[in-house]
Structure 1
Amino acid sequence: MKREELKAMGLTDDQVESVMAKSGAEVAALNTQITTLKSEKAQLENDKKVITKEKEDKEKAIADLQKNSISKDEYDKKIKEIEENAKKENEEYVYNDLLNKGLDDAKVLKDDLTREAIISLINKDKSKTKISDDKKSIVGLKELIDGYKKQAPHFFEKKASGYSPVNPEGDKGDNDGEISMGSNFAKQANESDNPNTKSQFFN
Structure 2
Amino acid sequence: MKREFLKELGLTDEQIDKIMAENGGDIQREQEKLNEKVKELEIVSGQLTEANKTIKSYKDMDIDKIKQSSAEWEEKYNKAMGDLKTERESNLLDKLLSAVNTHDADVVKGLLKKEELVFKDDNVLGLDKQIETLKMDKPYLFKEDNTDGDKKPPTFTSSAKSSTSGGDDKPTTLAGAIQQFYKKD
Pick the TM interval, shorter chain.
0.3 to 0.5
From the CA coordinates, give the structure whose radius of gyration is larger. Answer: 2
Q: Report the TM-score, using the length of structure 1 for normalisation.
A: 0.40
Greater relative CO (CA pairs within 8 A, separation 6+): 1
Q: Report the TM-score, using the length of structure 2 for normalisation.
A: 0.44
